[in-house]
């Protein structure tokens, strides 16, 4: 029993360490080719497959600088706080049918939403403790953005939970049916868009807008701590992609789901992650007011309408 | 642009098209670049053609050609008196000054200077960019052969002269 | 003393220590961060007691939203790094009032509920809480919803800039 738990946690840790690297490498290459470049070609000899490992080694060698004016303990703690929520979330995302999941949790969806919300605290900690006006501005932007987008994020997730009649992530995936793609389409879009905003990816990267805020709340970070923030960003992509795949795209559903369900889940996650990268390349950054307008005037009403629709269909079906 | 979001769709389409189009990047140190045959890489010197007329040195806009020479008497059998001949002692081009205008090559009346497409002669010290006549001579091997005449163009002066002489005799 | 009891006590101590740190630290933003520790420890207490749903609600609402809002507000106005010297906090009365309130509440709870033997409840799943809220307690729940809605509308009305030419009476608050 305990061995099984250790094994599961170990496997999730492996996924936590490899999937973000794969996503990061894919981003390097896809982004390069979308911009008619080649991207990394040297590290690892074959098309630069080891670029991120080389980056990790580089980060580990760099000096760990804490600014003199910074609030040391808070400054040093922030990267860990940023990384931890995503690690916890990965525990409950179902990979395949049955109990192919890190940890069966009765209120898995709720757990995910709650824990992802904690990431804001890390951003505020990093922003404030850096003693840098750009960092603080970036942190305030991030907090405003995350507080706003939390609402459509939770509401659209609530819609699918209502449709499935359970809060457990494996339960939702098991209850999923192909026609939900159409029925839950608005919720899918709202969830994906607000998820993008939650992980502060372009076009929602106003908090770290490098052309105006240097790098937002990450400006003062160096070495491994900075690498932690970057890792958190890529784990965030994995988490949001896999959540979108599990909640709205049917997770492990597909032909021969019983045997290769996990492959379907990984493929769907990869496809969503590709879209995340694609949007970064193709779209310009949203201005701060456009960002809030999109959230409150488009996504929240859309999510609420979807909730009404979901409730109506549920009542009509039962 | 009447449909809202059309621009966003176009952005996605453009990037996707670029993604599936092979990149034209040349992996330079691994793969030699494909340069046009007449590329202006470096100036090569055919020493035996040089008569030390100094035209190149005088026409050079930034004075980067340095020429030293001395006169030698050549006794030509059957001639009334020995001929004088200029012998090249030094022919240096300072490539830290050269701006690759090619005027020296244009003005050389005896075809002693050529463009070579060779370009990998960077140095760690700027003073090492002063190339002497031996170095410039080495590059003659890399000078591509002159392009063939345009088959539809006028024949060269030499050809017409030969043809005229042949028809006259 | 089971392992759960020990953990409960330890986490409770963490929560109390966090709470004390909130009110005793002289650094404004760190007080907010200690609040995260205190509230997070309370969430862990819920988890240890089997109230899974309440625990995650605690994290979502208090850690994820309330504290963030608080920190956000502090950082928007004034958030110096290092101790603030101008904090006006008389220590002795605060300790007295706090200790009196805490001890009084403890005495009250022990006195009122001390003799009851409560059966260990089943795990507080979302389903059971949903049944309870929308079954037995549906009327208070709905009344609370209406109260919250009224508060929401009231907040919006208060924060809206009043149109000057139409409502000349509501000028009193303009500063």
- Which pLDDT tens digit goes with each residue over A84-115? 888 888 888 888 776 667 677 777 888 888 88
Contact A278, A30 (CB under 8 A): yes
Find the residue in A nearest to C73 (Cα).
Answer: A140
Which CATH number do you get for residue B109?
3.30.70.3270
Question: How many angstroms separate the CA atoms of B107 and C111, rounded?
Answer: 112
Is the CB of residue A208 less than 8 Å from the CB of residue A138? yes
Measured between beta carbons, the chain C residues lying within 8 angstroms of A127 are: 75
Q: What is the dihedral of CA C126, C128, C134, C139, to 10 degrees?
A: -110
Q: What angle do CA A122, A124, A126 make, to 5 degrees?
A: 65
Which pLDDT belongs to residue C175? Answer: 42
Mean pLDDT of chain A: 85
Within 8 A by CB and 6+ apart from A98, the residues are: none
Tokens representing residue C24 in the block? 């005793």
Residue A34 to residue B8, Cβ atoms within 8 A? no
pLDDT top residue among A38 and C85: A38
Collect all residues of chain A within an 8 Å Cβ-Cβ radius of residue B25.
36-38
Q: How many CB pairs below 8 Å do chains A and C form together?
A: 84
Q: What would the mean pLDDT of A264-279 be, rounded to a whole number?
A: 89
Contact: A34, B27; criterion CB under 8 Å: no
| Angle, alpha carbons A196-A283-B18 (nearest 5°) | 120
Q: Looking at chain B, list the stretches that DSSP marks H as alpha helix, in order from N- to C-terminal side.
A: 6-20, 55-59, 103-107, 133-138, 157-168
Q: Which of A271, A274, A281, A294 best tests the B interface by mutation, with the highest count of B CBs <10 A?
A: A281
Chains B and A are in contact, defined as 3 or more C-beta pairs closer than 8 angstroms: yes
pLDDT band at residue C16 using 50, 70 and 90 as cut-offs: confident
Q: Cβ contact (<8 Å) for B14 and A282? A: yes
Q: Which among A30, A38, A283 has CB closest to B25?
A: A38
User: Given pLDDT bands bounded at 50, 70 and 90, which one contains residue B35?
Assistant: confident
CA A195/CA A189 separation, integer angstroms: 10
Give tens-digit pLDDT for B49-94: 888 888 988 999 999 999 998 888 888 888 888 888 888 888 899 9
Chains that touch A (3 or more CB pairs under 8 A): B, C
Higher-confidence residue of C163 and B169: namely B169
Whether residue B55 lies inside any domain: the answer is yes
Chain B residues with CB under 8 Å of a chain A CB are 8, 11-12, 14-16, 18-19, 21, 23-25, 27
Q: Cα separation of A22 and A34, whole Å?
A: 18
Q: CA C47, C53, C56, C57 torsion: positive or negative?
A: negative
C163: pLDDT strictly greater than 70: no
Q: How many domains does chain B have?
A: 1
In the predicted model, is pLDDT for residue A255 greater than 50?
Answer: yes
Query: What per-residue confidence (pLDDT) applies to B124?
Result: 92
Residue A3 contacts residue A26 (beta carbons within 8 Å): no
More confident residue, C113 or C82: C113
B17 domain-assigned? no
Selected residue of A32, A34, A204 to mutate for chain B interface (largest B Cβ count, 10 A): A34
User: Does residue C173 register a pLDDT over 50?
Assistant: no
Report, at the CATH architecture level, how domain C1-80 is classified: Up-down Bundle (1.20)
Which tens digits make up the pLDDT trace of A42-64?
887 788 888 888 888 888 888 88
Answer whether residue A7 shows pLDDT above 90: no
Which residues in chain B are closer than 8 Å to A34, comparing Cβ atoms? 15-16, 18-19
Q: Which residues of C touch A131 (CB under 8 A)?
A: 81
Number of domains observed in the structure of chain A: 1
pLDDT of residue A109: 85
Which domain, by its residues, includes B39?
32-144
**Range of A273's domain?**
2-317
Q: Torsion over CA of B98, B103, B105 and B107, rounded to 10 degrees?
A: -140
Q: What percent of chain B lies above the pLDDT cut of 90? A: 6
Task: Encode pLDDT of A149-167 as tens digits.
Answer: 888 988 898 888 888 888 8
Within a domain: B96: yes
Give me the pLDDT at residue C153, please: 92
ipTM: 0.77
Mark yes or no for CB contact A37/B16 under 8 Å. Answer: no
Using alpha carbons only, give the angle A81, A65, A82 rounded to the nearest 5 degrees. Answer: 10
**What pLDDT sits at residue C174?**
43
Q: Give the pLDDT band of residue C154 (cuts 50, 70, 90).
A: very high
Residue C31: the pLDDT is 84
With cut-offs at 50, 70 and 90, classify the pLDDT of residue C93.
Answer: confident
What pLDDT is attached to residue C120? 64
Among B11, B14, B19, select the one facing A33 at the smallest CB separation.
B19
């Amino acid at each position: 029993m305990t061995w099984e738990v250790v094994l599961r946690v170990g496997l999730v840790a492996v996924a936590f360490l490899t999937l973000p690297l794969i996503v990061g490498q894919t981003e390097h290459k896809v982004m390069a080719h979308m911009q008619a470049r080649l991207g990394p070609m040297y590290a690892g000899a074959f098309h630069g497959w080891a670029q991120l490992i080389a980056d990790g080694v580089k980060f580990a060698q760099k000096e760990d600088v804490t600014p003199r004016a910074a609030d040391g303990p808070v400054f040093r703690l922030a990267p860990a706080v940023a990384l931890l929520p995503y690690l916890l979330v990965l525990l409950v995302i179902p990979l395949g049918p049955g109990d192919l999941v890190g940890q069966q949790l009765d209120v898995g969806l709720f757990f995910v939403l709650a824990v992802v919300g904690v990431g804001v605290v890390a951003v505020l900690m990093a922003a404030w403790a850096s003693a840098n006006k750009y960092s603080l501005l970036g942190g305030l932007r991030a907090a405003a953005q995350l507080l706003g987008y939390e609402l459509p994020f939770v509401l659209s997730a609530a819609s699918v939970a209502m449709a499935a009649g359970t809060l457990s992530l494996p339960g939702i995936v098991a209850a999923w049916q192909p026609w939900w793609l159409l029925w839950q389409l608005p919720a899918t879009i709202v969830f994906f868009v607000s998820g993008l905003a939650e992980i502060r990816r372009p076009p929602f990267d106003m908090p770290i807008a490098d052309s105006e805020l240097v790098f937002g709340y990450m400006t003062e970070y160096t070495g491994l701590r900075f690498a932690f923030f970057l890792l958190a960003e890529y784990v965030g992509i994995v988490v949001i992609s896999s959540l979108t795949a599990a909640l709205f795209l049917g997770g492990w559903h597909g032909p021969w789901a019983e045997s290769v369900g996990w492959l379907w889940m990984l493929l769907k996650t990869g496809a969503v992650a590709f879209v995340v990268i694609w949007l970064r390349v193709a779209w310009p950054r949203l201005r701060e007011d456009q960002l809030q307008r999109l959230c409150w005037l488009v996504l929240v009403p859309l999510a609420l309408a979807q909730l009404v629709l979901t409730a109506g269909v549920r009542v009509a079906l039962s | 642009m009447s449909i809202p979001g059309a621009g966003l769709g176009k952005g996605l389409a453009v990037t996707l098209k670029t993604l599936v189009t092979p990149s034209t990047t040349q992996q330079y140190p691994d793969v030699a670049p494909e340069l046009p045959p007449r590329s202006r890489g470096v100036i090569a010197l055919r020493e035996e053609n040089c008569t030390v007329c100094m035209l190149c040195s005088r026409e050079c806009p930034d004075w980067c050609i340095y020429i030293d020479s001395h006169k030698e008497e050549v006794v030509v059998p059957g001639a009334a008196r020995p001929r004088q001949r200029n012998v090249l002692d030094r022919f240096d081009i300072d490539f830290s000054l050269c701006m690759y205008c090619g005027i020296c090559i244009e003005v050389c009346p005896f075809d002693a200077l050529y463009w070579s497409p060779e370009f990998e002669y960077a140095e760690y010290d700027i003073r090492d960019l002063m190339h002497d006549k031996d170095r410039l001579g080495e590059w003659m091997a890399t000078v591509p052969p002159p392009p063939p005449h345009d088959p539809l163009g006028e024949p060269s002066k030499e050809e017409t002269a030969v043809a005229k002489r042949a028809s006259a005799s | 003393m089971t392992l759960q009891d020990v953990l409960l006590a330890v986490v409770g101590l963490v929560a109390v220590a966090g709470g004390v740190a909130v009110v005793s630290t002289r650094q404004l933003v760190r007080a907010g961060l200690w609040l995260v520790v205190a509230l997070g420890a309370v969430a862990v207490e819920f988890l240890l007691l089997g109230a899974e749903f309440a625990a995650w609600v605690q994290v979502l609402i208090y850690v994820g939203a309330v504290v963030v809002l608080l920190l956000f507000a502090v950082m928007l106005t004034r958030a110096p790094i290092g101790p603030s010297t101008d904090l006006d906090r008389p220590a002795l009365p605060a300790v007295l009032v706090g200790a009196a309130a805490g001890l009084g509440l403890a005495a009250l709870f022990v006195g009122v509920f001390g003799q009851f033997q409560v059966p260990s409840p089943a795990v507080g799943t979302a389903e059971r809480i949903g049944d309870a809220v929308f079954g037995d307690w549906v009327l208070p729940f709905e009344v609370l919803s209406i109260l919250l809605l009224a508060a929401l509308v009231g907040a919006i009305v208060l924060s809206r800039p009043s149109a000057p030419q139409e409502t000349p009476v509501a000028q009193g608050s303009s500063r």
